[in-house]
Amino acid sequence: MCGIVGYIGTKDSSTDFVLAGLKALEYRGYDSAGLVTIDNGRLKYLRDVGRVANLEKLVKRNGHPAVATRDNGLSGEGNFSESSGQSRTSGTAAGAAQQKIDLSAKSTGGVASSAGQQASAANVSCGIGHTRWATHGSVTEFNAHPHANSSRSIFVVCNGIIENYQDLKADLIKKGYKFKSETDTEVIPHLIDHYLKTGDGFFAAFKTAIADLRGAYAIAAVYTEEPEKIYAARLSSPIVIGVGNGEHFLASDPSALIHKTKKVIFLNDFEVAEISANKAHIESLDKTRKEITQVVELDYDHEESELGTFPHFMLKEIHEAPMTIKSAIRGRVKPDIKTIKLGGLESVKQQLTLIDRIIITACGTSYYAGLIGEYLIEEIAGIPVEVQLASEFKYRKEPLSRGTAVIAISQSGETADTVAAIKKVEDYGILKLGIVNAVGSTLTRITDAGVYCHAGPEQSVATTKAFLAQVTILTEIALHLSDGKSKLFTPLLKELTNLPDKAQKVVELAPAIEILAKKYAHYRDFLFIGRNYLYPCALEGALKLKEISYIHAEGCSAGEMKHGPLAMIDENFPTFALACDSSLLDKTMSNIEEIKARKGPIIATATVGNKKIKSIADDVIYLPKTAEQLQPILSVIAMQLFAYYIAVEKGLDVDRPRNLAKSVTVE
């Protein structure tokens, strides 16, 4: 959460790059934004609450020309070869500061990357920016980043959490430092200010300050006395340096800079960087580490994500369901030659034959996809699977045998808990696999192998198409692990290829689902039920609804209703029942009857041809017939549309729901 960008160079305007970069990273947080730039000796320091667009307006009012906009997105390969809380003082120059500074500082530092001609401080444009998802302190301009020391010579932006900030703050207050915000980040500029007094220069003070911090962070800083440099540090939160010709870029993920350069340096944990237009000098604060991260060339292109004629990205992404499934099976599922080919797992082919237990770890929607994966792998490949929330798994002390493989599932590839879960097993010598959508993201670099979702960029905070890709790939992995021995192997290979057309039929139900959503939008509670493969799918339906409509929703196994949840049912508590044809359909139908008997309104999804359900449910959404194992893929599209239209009916910000961010990079 929180997006960081930075620019140092002679080619571009730091303000332009920072604003465009912040827009590309807005999915990481969108409650306030800010920047600091130094151009031709002029310091510009602007912050505002709300979206990056508000900051952009503030910049324009403060005399900057119009700024180009862009969207983020990626495609390609990675390791997977294939204090006070003042309220906002609104208005034009709120939080704005401009001052003239001295440009006499000299450049220092070793070399990890160097390029281009020499740049003097006078013609260098320097800036850092931040889009915030509040952790410490409410959403006010004073809590927006960058944060500065009292003399406003040191500016810092941070993504993450400084766990020991209260101790540091107490020490600094004793030393006479004064704080203006409630944030943890504000300790950093004051700490650097304090260490600067030793006289060893800014980089030395920066490193000493960073060494004092505990927690997880990505940090960027500028110092007005050295306006030809920006500084960066990382511990457990992503930050990448883009290497240009006579310029360097900084961003929380490559999507914000890949349109400028494909040469990048992914900072490792404990690394710090001193970056000028021509040099990126990197050191590790971890003395046991001998290797410093190097420049790598990204081998994928920037993928624009345009809204087109859709009113929201969420609706657009739901409509991409058929294409998403096609991309997830393309080149992998070959029913004609009865083969499944997962190129990303080729390098670990031998190890895969030895595994006798799988742990799937993930968060949120990816976790629910993992639960469906558990049913799939156990039924098709016969390998025991456990699914664990990454936030729990990373702290659990459980025995892990060498025959265990861990699969991390993540759309973003940056979720802090999922990354930590994989890091936890790094020294166990067990196989670490990933199912990831964002190309080149952290998880693709720290797993041994994996399978890309190829779902394309997702802009909506509520994930939709990535879930479809994840479940499709889990089906492929299950088939791959079964080595053709499962009786489901041939039928499922074939049915996977039929799925895009069937998904299209569900997408075409949008107008009918919109009418239903209008009917149900006024309810305050909702239950989602299902059995077997449709149980985890019900959990995902509930998450989708609560996430974007703020309606209280719970997912429940239909068989569990009598064990408690049934007590909640009355005429004001509707149930969304997943009741497609299966060996357990009669049991689900009985559960629906029990809800009906208690006057609970019922919407059901059912397989085309099921007439009986019409007499029980108030409303029925008919879905195309498919294999039981693949029903979650079609059912979830209907639930996504339902949640979407309810949120629209309630007039909510569908793509940017309150309190959430797309990439959760803090614990």
- Give the H/E segment covering residue 398: none
Helix (H, G, I), strand (E, B) or coil at 194: helix
Closest CA to 27 of 314, 291, 295, 259: 314
CA 490 to chain centre: 35
Q: In what order do the strands lie in the sheet with 357-362?
A: 385-389, 357-362, 404-410, 431-436, 449-452
Q: Indicate the burial class of 288 (C-beta count within 10 angstroms; 0-12, 13-18, 19 or more).
A: exposed
- Residue 204 CB, nearest approach to ligand M6R (Å): 37
Q: Which residues bind ligand M6R (CB under 6 A)?
A: 363-366, 410-412, 415, 418, 461-463, 543, 547, 664
- Residue 374 CB, nearest approach to ligand M6R (Å): 17
| Dist. CA 71–CA 55, nearest whole Å | 17
Closer residue to ligand M6R in complex, CB, 37/255: 255
Closer residue to ligand M6R in complex, CB, 107/159: 159
Tokens 């793509």 appear where? 655
- Residue 464 CB, nearest approach to ligand M6R (Å): 8
Closer residue to ligand M6R in complex, CB, 439/543: 543
CA 491 to chain centre: 34
Closer residue to ligand M6R in complex, CB, 493/543: 543
- Residue 400 CB, nearest approach to ligand M6R (Å): 22
Q: For the chain, what is the largest distance between any 2 Cα atoms, rounded to a whole number of angstroms?
A: 82
Closer residue to ligand M6R in complex, CB, 460/582: 460
Closer residue to ligand M6R in complex, CB, 126/664: 664
| Dist. CA 365–CA 548, nearest whole Å | 13
Closest CA to 329 of 503, 490, 436, 454: 454
| Dist. CA 431–CA 632, nearest whole Å | 28
- Contact between residue 224 and residue 152 where contact means Cβ atoms under 8 Å apart: yes
| Dist. CA 551–CA 109, nearest whole Å | 54
- Residue 461 CB, nearest approach to ligand M6R (Å): 5
Kindly name the residue from 2, 453, 537, 556 that is annotated as catalytic: 2
Closest CA to 370 of 395, 352, 382, 387: 387
- Residue 408 CB, nearest approach to ligand M6R (Å): 8
Instruction: Give one DSSP letter per residue of 214-225, joined into a string.
Output: -EEEEEEEEETT
- Residue 1 CB, nearest approach to ligand M6R (Å): 10
Closer residue to ligand M6R in complex, CB, 148/369: 369
- Residue 364 CB, nearest approach to ligand M6R (Å): 2
- Contact between residue 265 and residue 101 where contact means Cβ atoms under 8 Å apart: no
Closer residue to ligand M6R in complex, CB, 363/380: 363
Could you confirm whether 2 is annotated as catalytic?
A: yes
Closest CA to 5 of 128, 159, 134, 146: 128
- Asked, as a colleague might, if the bond just before 82 is cis with ω within 30 of 0, I would say yes
Closer residue to ligand M6R in complex, CB, 107/663: 663
Torsion, CA 213, CA 218, CA 220, CA 221, rounded to 10: -10
Kindly name the residue from 169, 262, 502, 662 that is annotated as catalytic: 662
Q: How many Å is the Cα radius of gyration of the chain?
A: 26
- Asked, as a colleague might, if the bond just before 565 is cis with ω within 30 of 0, I would say no
**Nearest residue by C-beta to ligand M6R?**
364
What DSSP character marks residue 267? P
Helix (H, G, I), strand (E, B) or coil at 389: strand
| Dist. CA 351–CA 595, nearest whole Å | 48
- Residue 658 CB, nearest approach to ligand M6R (Å): 12
Question: Which residues are known catalytic residues?
Answer: 2, 662
